[in-house]
Structures are given as structure tokens and as C-alpha cells.
Amino acid sequence: MIEFDHVHKRFGDHVVIDDLSLRVEDGEFFVLVGPSGSGKSTLLRTVNRLVHIDAGSVRIDGVDAATQAVETLRRGIGYAIQSVGLFPHRTVGENIATVPRLLGWPEHEIRARVEDLLELLKLDEPGFADRYPDTLSGGQQQRVGVARALAARPRIVLMDEPFGALDPVTRESLQTSLKAIQRDTATTILFVTHDMDEAFGLGHRVALMLDGKVAQVGTPLELIRHPVNERVREFVGGSR
Ligand code: ADP
Ligand code: MG
């Protein structure tokens, strides 16, 4: 479904993605985990072409992402990031409705979808959809960011440390919701985190990235029980 094939990316002389190949299956909850600077965000952003690769290819359902119109590509892919980036002059409801509106959904469907998402993400207090981002807590803003990424039921959702700034209780509750949403909708999620526990809690499979390469890919149990080398063992064991 998403295939990275010999992907290379450099910033100046710095090789950030180093001949990386990886396949994310349809309907999979796939986590990229690794230390800061290992290239996770860069790799994620090659999928919606926020990053242009120097060599190799990224294919989605067999189609090279580089050959698609970028607007078409991005409309089919949800994207949620830690720094949220809500539109400040739009209400919560309008923020969530952004992509469905671009896609021309009828108004009643948009309203119903916004209500469903607010409920799913436990933001369903009265009047919440009419509030503006600057009246929300950081955690609430992040949840709205996640709702916006899911709104048009994209088949692929990219998430870059979307729960990074949350307190542990909120974070765990959102992880649980996201897992349920993923399971019920069979959305393909590519999720970035530097937190091994989060990776193992969420991912069907996990790829540990070190220095722009995949050090190991497998189920959480495979990584825990059979680390392929000492660095993987340290990283898997070190944070647990
Ligand atoms: P991660 O998400 O794993 O922390 P990133 O993909 O953000 O890692 O970054 C990988 C490396 O690439 C880092 O050394 C970072 O400084 C560098 N990098 C990322 N984006 C840029 C950019 N736009 N220009 C120059 N260097 C960058
Ligand atoms: Mg990052």
C-alpha cells in the first residue's frame, strides 16, 4: 500500500534517509520509532511530498507519489502533527470540516461527521464546535488536529508525534481512541514517535529507525524478543 523503495534524502551534505526500503500494508497501524534526528519526520513527509526525495520512489497503491498532482495526493492523506497548526480564524467545527469541504461533501454530512469526530475524541461538550482554537487547551487543540486529519475518512493517515505534548492520562485515552478508530475503519496509519512504549502499544508493526536507516522492522514482540543487533537491543530495552 505504501512502498518506500530505495529512498534517499540529503540536506546539504547530511544524509538523512539512507537507501531506505519499507512496505506498509493496507489497513496496518505502522509505527516509525527512533531517537531524535533519525529521520522519522522526514520519511513521513516524503509520503505527502512535503519533502522531495533525491532518489528512489514512494508508491501508494502502486502509483508513484511523485507523478500525482500534489493537491490530489494530499487530499487523500490525513496529516496530524505535534504543533497542530489549526487555522486560528476558523472554529473547531470549520477546522475539522476543512478537507470534506474541499471535497464538496454536502453540508448535512459535514455536520454529522464533525459531531461524530468530536464524540470519538471526547470533545463533545455543548458548543465546542463553535469555539476558536485560542480558547482551547493544548491537549484539546491536538485532539482537534487529529479529528481534522481523520475527517474525510482518508485511507492513509500520517501522524507525527500527535500526542507529544499531552499529559499521560490524556495521552493514554487518545491512544486508546485512536487504536479503536484504526481497527474499526481499517485506516492505514503511519505514526511517528520517539517513545518506545507508545510505539509498542500502538503498532501492529514497528520500524526502528537509526541514522536514516531501518535498523529493524517487525511486530513489537519480534523486536523485544529477537533484536537483530546490540543497538536495537539497547534501544528497545533502554526505554522500558
Ligand atoms: P526525527 O523526526 O527522527 O527527529 P527528522 O526527520 O526531523 O528526524 O530530521 C532528521 C535530520 O535531518 C536531522 O538531523 C535534522 O536536523 C535534519 N533536517 C530535517 N529537516 C531539515 C531541513 N529542512 N533542512 C536541513 N536539515 C533538516
Ligand atoms: Mg520528528
- Nearest ligand atom owner, CA of 14: 1
**CA angle 35-155-70, nearest 5°?**
80
Output b/e per residue, 138-173; b: 16+ Cβ within 10 A.
Answer: ebbbbbbbbbbbbbbebbbbbbbbbbbebeeebbeb
Task: Yes or no: say if 66 and 58 are a contact pair by the CB < 8 Å rule.
Answer: yes
ipTM of the complex: 0.98
Continuous segment of H or E residues that includes residue 10:
strand 2-11
Residues within 5 A (CB) of ion ligand 2: 41
Pocket residue to mutate for ligand 1, from 4, 14, 16, 83, most atoms within 8 A of Cβ: 16
Looking up cell 475518512 gives 153
pLDDT by residue, tens only, the chain of 240 residues: 999 999 999 999 999 999 999 999 999 999 999 999 999 999 999 999 999 999 999 999 999 999 999 998 998 899 998 777 899 999 999 999 999 999 999 999 999 999 999 998 888 889 999 999 999 988 889 889 999 999 999 999 999 999 887 888 888 988 998 999 899 889 999 999 999 999 999 999 999 999 999 999 999 999 999 999 999 999 988 644
Q: How far is the CA of 115 from the centre of ligand 2 (A)?
A: 31
Residues enclosing ligand 1, CB less than 6 A? 11, 16, 34, 36-42
Task: Yes or no: say if 124 and 161 are a contact pair by the CB < 8 Å rule.
Answer: no
